Amino acid sequence: VRLIVRGGIIVTEAGQVTADILCVDGRIAALLDPAERVKVDEVVAAHGRLVFPGFIDPHVHSRDPGAPDKEDFAHSSLAALCGGVTCVLEMPNATPAVADAETFRDRRDYLSARAWVDFGLWGLSLGTANIDKLEELFSAGAVAVKLFWGYALHKETKSLVYNIGDMPSEELLMPPSNGEVLATFAEVARLGGLIGVHCEDKSVLDVATADLGRPISSYNDFLRARPAVAEASAIALAASLSYATKCRFHVMHVASAAGAAVVRIARDNGVPISAETCPHYLTLADTDYDAIGSLMKVYPPIRSGEDQAALWARIADGTITSVGSDHGPHTLKEKRSGLASAPAGVAGVETFVPLLIDAMCRGKLSPQQLAALASTNTARMYGLHPRKGTIRPGADADLVIVEPERNHTIRADKLHSVSPVTPFDGRTLTGIPVASILRGVVVMEDGQPMGSRRGEFLAANHSLDAPQALKTQGGSADRRDRMTEGAASLA
């Protein structure tokens, strides 16, 4: 099957060029001069629009199986599709948690039967409890392993415990010790894998909560009970473990100026560290609490306007190299139950791309940076490049067509999740993903699915891509590499 995308402005991390994209049997076959005429079965007109490599959301908690009232994968992957994402990386903390290869394969098959977009799958690290399973998880194709450090998990289900005080301590699985995490990092390094860590130090949170001396009753209390130093100190400790072991370490959802500064310092000193942030940290601040309420409760918390500005600056200076939604859906009833007792988490897989496009249209990001942050760097880091994350011959024909001029308003009741709850309800955005192509087939137009479900599982290949992934984090020499690659892809 031959499809051509005509007249669009192709955006890669390296630059922009107007060219036609010929897709044959699901892959990109050639970039053609728009004057050239070729025989095709289908034409997609993209004149005056931007064409991005398919966007990847690397941080999605679909609760499936586990909590069907909050979300399931059929809905989250449809929401992803409608919001301009063509690939999601699913987190391992559904029930049962993906802590060994057998569960990994079961989950892979289960999600494959429900996927509207392509997907990769995370494994779960439980410290030494499953350190002997990390090899089989990476062999099975895990994009990375996740360590919920500082989080208590439920002993049986390995699900996250959002409010520790609400649960009897004998049901809790406490976070692994520093020594266990060191051993885990050493093992991930040996395997050439990647570990993604939720960085908040539980002991710092415990002291801060005790210092507060009363139940959380305002957003300011909430921030005092979860100070930025909990994040920064956990990153610093993990960075030293990463330095010692050479383990590739990705900081999930950096939310504070202090945390991002530690990432920068570590990287400048040779730690193989990288960092993610999320649209909610880039677009909301504590001052929004009065209007939004506990719907914006998330761990780590959304902080001040200065923290938000620092995160933008850390994107600009290359410290933060990937953005994920941390899609963490809960029911409206749960989210409305008050700041102290509401579960933490913000659903965001469907608003992920629109919020980033809006930021681009406001001049916070260049189109090239958007391509890098939400596609190319992400694909590289998680071992999916060059199949995903790039527009060049041989890559999967995953493309998202963006119309930068059109305004639209986010409406919770129009979202496709099981529980369509968002802190962004009513927000008007500029620019919109108008169509998506997944492996050469138009699968989304104007926010609606086209045709039938056709998402597939993707196994990560870290052995091929590990050196690449590190390269994207560097300075000017690496930039030259990327430019060359970009130029080659447009040749």
Name the binder of 486 from ligand DOR, Zn ion, none, CB < 5-8 A by kind.
Answer: none
What's the rounded Cα separation, in Å, for the pair 346 and 338? 15
Name the binder of 52 from Zn ion, ligand DOR, none, CB < 5-8 A by kind.
Answer: none
Instruction: Determine contact, residues 331/70, Cβ cutoff 8 Å.
Output: yes
Residue 41, classified by CB atoms within 10 Å of its CB into exposed (0-12), middle (13-18) or buried (19+), is: exposed
Q: Provide the minimum distance between the beta carbon of 416 and Zn ion in the complex, in angstroms, as a whole number.
A: 23
Give the nearer residue to Zn ion in terms of CB position, either 324 or 389. 324
What's the rounded Cα separation, in Å, for the pair 49 and 33? 16
What's the rounded Cα separation, in Å, for the pair 132 and 101? 11
What's the rounded Cα separation, in Å, for the pair 469 and 458? 17
Instruction: Determine contact, residues 357/432, Cβ cutoff 8 Å.
Output: yes
- Binder among 63, 198, 297, 314 for Zn ion (CB under 5 A): 198
Q: Provide the minimum distance between the beta carbon of 350 and ligand DOR in the complex, in angstroms, as a whole number.
A: 16
Q: Provide the minimum distance between the beta carbon of 182 and ligand DOR in the complex, in angstroms, as a whole number.
A: 22
Name the binder of 429 from Zn ion, ligand DOR, none, CB < 5-8 A by kind.
Answer: none
**Positive or negative torsion for Cα 440, 433, 281, 455:** negative
Residue 107 sits in the site that holds ligand DOR (CB under 6 A): no
Q: Provide the minimum distance between the beta carbon of 213 and ligand DOR in the complex, in angstroms, as a whole number.
A: 24
What's the rounded Cα separation, in Å, for the pair 85 and 67? 23
Which is it for strands 20-24 and 2-6: parallel, antiparallel or unpaired?
Answer: antiparallel
- Binder among 61, 107, 146, 462 for ligand DOR (CB under 6 A): 61
Name the binder of 298 from ligand DOR, Zn ion, none, CB < 5-8 A by kind.
Answer: ligand DOR
Q: Provide the minimum distance between the beta carbon of 187 and ligand DOR in the complex, in angstroms, as a whole number.
A: 23
Residue linked to tokens 């049997």: 25
Give the nearer residue to ligand DOR in terms of CB position, either 62 or 245. 62
Q: Provide the minimum distance between the beta carbon of 144 and Zn ion in the complex, in angstroms, as a whole number.
A: 13
Residue 214, classified by CB atoms within 10 Å of its CB into exposed (0-12), middle (13-18) or buried (19+), is: exposed
| Helix (H), strand (E) counts: the chain | 17, 22
Q: Provide the minimum distance between the beta carbon of 442 and Zn ion in the complex, in angstroms, as a whole number.
A: 34
Give the 3-state secondary structure of residue 159.
coil
Using CB under 5 A, which residues numbered 459 to 488 contact Zn ion?
A: none
Please identify the residue of the shown chain whose CB is closest to the bound Zn ion: 198
Give the nearer residue to ligand DOR in terms of CB position, either 5 or 160. 160
Q: Provide the minimum distance between the beta carbon of 259 and ligand DOR in the complex, in angstroms, as a whole number.
A: 14
Give the nearer residue to ligand DOR in terms of CB position, either 298 or 397. 298
Using CB under 6 A, which residues numbered 189 to 208 contact ligand DOR?
A: 198
Site string for ligand DOR, 323-362 (x = CB under 6 A): ---x-x---------------xx-----------------
Instruction: Determine contact, residues 329/278, Cβ cutoff 8 Å.
Output: no
Name the binder of 108 from Zn ion, ligand DOR, none, CB < 5-8 A by kind.
Answer: none
Please identify the residue of the shown chain whose CB is closest to the bound ligand DOR: 345
Give the nearer residue to ligand DOR in terms of CB position, either 66 or 393. 66
Residue 67 sits in the site that holds ligand DOR (CB under 6 A): no
Residue linked to tokens 């090239």: 368
Instruction: Determine contact, residues 462/134, Cβ cutoff 8 Å.
Output: no
* Size of residue set near Zn ion by CB under 5 A: 2
Using CB under 6 A, which residues numbered 244 to 303 contact ligand DOR?
A: 298-299
State the Rg of the chain over Cα.
21
Identify which of 471, 475, 252, 230 has the alpha carbon closest to the alpha carbon of residue 485: 471
Site string for ligand DOR, 160-179 (x = CB under 6 A): x-------------------
N residues, the chain = 491
Report the 10 Å Cβ neighbour count for 37. 9
CA distances from 126 to 42, 129, 152, 178, 257 (A): 48, 5, 11, 12, 28
Residues of the shown chain interacting with Zn ion in the complex, contacts defined by CB under 5 A: 198, 252
Residues of the shown chain interacting with ligand DOR in the complex, contacts defined by CB under 6 A: 61, 160, 198, 298-299, 326, 328, 344-345
